[in-house]
Amino acid sequence: MEARAIKRFIPSSPRKMRLVVDLIRNQTVEDGINILKYSKKHAAKVVEMAILSAYSNLVNKLDTGRLDKHEVLIKEAYVDGGPVMKRMLPAPQGRAFRIRKRSAHLTLVVENIEEKA
């Protein structure tokens, strides 16, 4: 059985988020949280909360409600681009430079390892 967690409108660029998400793909939930806990990246906290949410969704979905974190695999993890806020910055000689403040959407899918075997 699998469960999903979606975190939308994260105020970080998708390119920076993908660096963190690539670290935890195809890991167990326990290993993924340990990796993110010692990461310096700002996006690591957001991804960690999303993993815990997906794990919680899976536990609530099961009939027994008992599942350890080392029995759950992060099956899919990907980041899509969200809306971009466009801002202007004054530049020399009356010009204006455009600043693009990007956002991201994070999707995580976790799966029970026991079911696959």
**How large is the average pLDDT for residues 34-52?**
97
| pTM of structure | 0.90
**Which of 39, 33, 20 lies closest to 70, judged by CA?**
33
Mean pLDDT of 43-58: 96
Spatial distance between the Cα atoms of 33 and 50, rounded to a whole number of angstroms = 10
The answer to whether 26 and 93 are in contact (CB under 8 A) is no
CA distance 20 to 29: 14
pLDDT over threshold 90, residue 52: yes
Q: All domains of the chain, ordered by start, with CATH?
A: 2-116 (3.90.470.10)
What is the structure's pLDDT at 43? 96
Question: Are 58 and 67 spatial neighbours (Cβ–Cβ below 8 Å)?
Answer: yes
What is the number of other CB atoms lying within 10 angstroms of the CB of residue 68?
A: 12
What is the C-alpha separation between 89 and 9, in angstroms, rounded?
23
Cβ(95)–Cβ(48) below 8 Å: no
**Predicted confidence band of residue 116 (pLDDT cuts 50, 70, 90):** low
pLDDT at 117: 53
What is the distance, to the nearest Å, from the Cα of residue 23 to the centroid of all Cα atoms in its chain? 11
Mean pLDDT over 54-76 rounds to: 92
Cβ contacts of 42 within 8 Å, gap of 6 or more: 12, 16
Could you tell me which of 104, 87, 105 has the C-alpha nearest to residue 96? 87
State residue 115's pLDDT score: 60
Whether residue 31 has pLDDT greater than 60:
yes
- For all residues of the chain together, what is the average pLDDT? 95
